[in-house]
Chain A
Amino acid sequence: DVKVTQSSRYLVKRTGEKVFLECVQDMDHENMFWYRQDPGLGLRLIYFSYDVKMKEKGDIPEGYSVSREKKERFSLILESASTNQTSMYLCASSLRGQGLQETQYFGPGTRLLVL
């Protein structure tokens, strides 16, 4: 089974702090994704990466950056946390292939509260 893990289930940070969210997958997937989930909005893509050191902006990249130094690890960075970044953050990974081969598998999520 695919396993995607995230470093924390819950985080509480102060406004202005630098925040790191870590995601690790164990299935040698090329693609990795960061989403945020908010009530009534579903999941929105922040950034994704299709290879080591490669990254592309998603739909809502403002205020975020990412790092992918190793294939299995994809980090989301909030350079200066703000209260409007309080949310649930979900990481996902998938193979790079054709169609359903690119089915995404998700981690358990990190609920971030910025005070």
Chain B
Amino acid sequence: AQTVTQSQPEMSVQEAETVTLSCTYDTSENNYYLFWYKQPPSRQMILVIRQEAYKQQNATENRFSVNFQKAAKSFSLKISDSQLGDTAMYFCAFMKPPGNTGKLIFGQGTTLQVKP
């Protein structure tokens, strides 16, 4: 069975600095999809970034980028120029290949606090 591990329950960063959140996963699949979601204190879960495993190029979305290491089964999220609005809980998630009705497996979450 697939598992997703976020080993950092809490992190903090100064405003304008860069922070990296870790995520590792375990799977025997070759094709799959990875996601980072953000859950601000207001609780609405928002998609941050997503990656297809067969694409070697790391996904980027403005200040958010990932470091996808397929062989190491690692999918870390880098937030550059951190802003106060980035304060949230971040979840890493794994989705099996098509044909599995798009079910997600989530990590435990990392609470990030951006300090002024």
Contact = CB atoms under 8 A, between A and B. Distances in A.
A50 B102 CA distance: 9
Nearest to B53: A99
Contacts of B16: none
A92 B47 CA distance: 12
Interface in A74-103: 88, 90, 92, 94, 96-100, 102-103
Contacts of B97: 99
Nearest to B46: A106
Contact of B107 (A42, A100, A104, A105): A42
Contacts of A88: 43
Given A88-B43, A100-B33, 17 more contacts: A31-B101, A33-B103, A42-B4, A42-B6, A42-B106, A42-B107, A43-B104, A45-B104, A48-B103, A50-B101, A96-B102, A102-B33, A102-B95, A102-B98, A102-B102, A103-B35, A109-B44
21 contacts: A40-B108, A42-B106, A42-B107, A42-B109, A43-B91, A43-B104, A45-B104, A50-B101, A58-B103, A94-B102, A99-B33, A99-B97, A102-B98, A103-B35, A103-B50, A104-B102, A106-B37, A106-B45, A106-B46, A107-B44, A108-B42
